[in-house]
Amino acid sequence: MKRMIIGLFAFITLIMICNAHARVVLQNKGSDTLVNVAQAWAEKYQEVNQEVAVAVSGGGSGTGIAAMINGTVDIANSSREMDDKEIEEAKANGVNPVEHIVGYDALAIYLHPNNPISSFSLAQLKNLYGRSGTAKRWTDVGVEVPGCRKQQIILVGRQNNSGTYMYFHEAVLGKGEKYTLGTLDMHGSKDVVDLVEKTPCAIGYSGIAYATDHVKVACVMKTEGGECVLPTLENTLSRNYPISRPLFMYTNGEASGAIKEYLDWILSDEGQCIIAHIGYAPVRHVQCEKE
């Protein structure tokens, strides 16, 4: 009997070891904008397919893309399209980047609740963030902010390996313009919102999913005097909001096997409802239960 128990224990242990070895681990890295939803997808997918684990880390879009080029991740998250240089580097390394749009984001303009201003045109934002801009104090744009010493505008943004940094430059500053010197470049999207919340003089840009009740979100006009649009889910999905963008996952070649199954699930109604609940726009209209 003792031998039978020992044998049974050994057999069960062997099965557990085999199952552990059979488990697939997908490495998923990149965009800080996407890191929260990527983590939510990974956690939920454990319930959908226990044979696949998804390891998620942030670091910025550029970091994720570089990791894919180097062959150290299965999926790179990015809040911007790969640029020509990255694509050339990938191909030189035998990597064929394939993009998958997994949702849409609105780059919200965050203000301290004390700030009386509630709207900006793209030209006004360029005048604030662009190096050739002339607006340095809140009085230059016609307001006085309570609690803001000397009314000095404090510009908050992201570090230069961030897709958010690059997309804001493309959509707001445009070619030929550089960011103004002295911008506070934060490592994470949440860091931008946290700093604006605590700083009456500040203005910042970050993904809409990081909005809280402790900051103010401005509406944005494409042209001066035009319709001022808030970064709602509806306006993001319709692309009516002027600073909205697709969110990407990149794979080396067309996805197959466990990677394809995971991406297919992300684009399913269940996966798209997760991104909608977190605060981004899904790739299409989906009926989701309220949390």
Q: pLDDT digits over 201-260, tens only? A: 999 999 999 999 999 999 999 999 999 999 998 999 888 999 999 999 999 999 999 999
CB 103 within 8 A of CB 280: yes
* Domain contains 199: yes
> Which residues have CB under 8 Å from 286's CB, separation 6+?
269, 272, 273, 276
**What length does the chain have?**
291
Answer yes or no: do 145 and 190 share one domain: yes
* Domain contains 284: no
Answer yes or no: do 70 and 117 share one domain: no
Mean pLDDT over 13-37 rounds to: 75
Q: Please state whether beta strands 154-158 and 202-207 pair in parallel, antiparallel, or not at all (unpaired).
A: parallel
Answer yes or no: do 113 and 218 share one domain: yes
Least confident of 10-14, 80-84, 170-174: 10-14
pLDDT at 289: 83
List, edge to edge, every strand of the sheet that includes 119-121. Answer: 119-121, 219-221, 228-229
Lookup result for tokens 């804001």? 168
* Domain contains 266: yes
pLDDT at 105: 95
Cα 209 from Cα 1, distance rounded (Å) = 60
Answer yes or no: do 149 and 98 share one domain: no
* Domain contains 150: yes
Looking at residue 12, which CATH number applies to its domain?
Answer: 3.40.190.10
Answer yes or no: do 71 and 85 share one domain: yes
Mean pLDDT over 178-183 rounds to: 96
Answer yes or no: do 113 and 171 share one domain: yes
Q: What is the DSSP letter of 184?
A: E
pLDDT at 110: 98
* Domain contains 270: yes
Answer yes or no: do 271 and 223 share one domain: no
> Exposed/middle/buried for 117, CB within 10 Å: 0-12, 13-18, 19+?
middle
Answer yes or no: do 147 and 36 share one domain: no
Answer yes or no: do 33 and 153 share one domain: no
Answer yes or no: do 240 and 252 share one domain: no
What is the number of helices (H) and of strands (E) in the chain?
10, 12
Lookup result for tokens 């303009």? 109
Q: What is the DSSP letter of 46?
A: H
Answer yes or no: do 170 and 214 share one domain: yes
* Domain contains 283: no
Query: pTM score, two decimals?
Result: 0.84
With H, G, I as helix, E, B as strand and everything else as coil, classify residue 212: coil
pLDDT at 291: 61
Per-residue pLDDT at 4 exceeds 60: no
Domain count, the chain: 2
* Domain contains 95: yes
Q: How far is CA 273 from the centre of its chain?
A: 16
Question: Domain limits at 38?
Answer: 2-103+246-278
Q: What is the mean pLDDT of the chain?
A: 92
Cα 255 from Cα 98, distance rounded (Å) = 8
pLDDT at 220: 98
* Domain contains 287: no
Answer yes or no: do 114 and 228 share one domain: yes
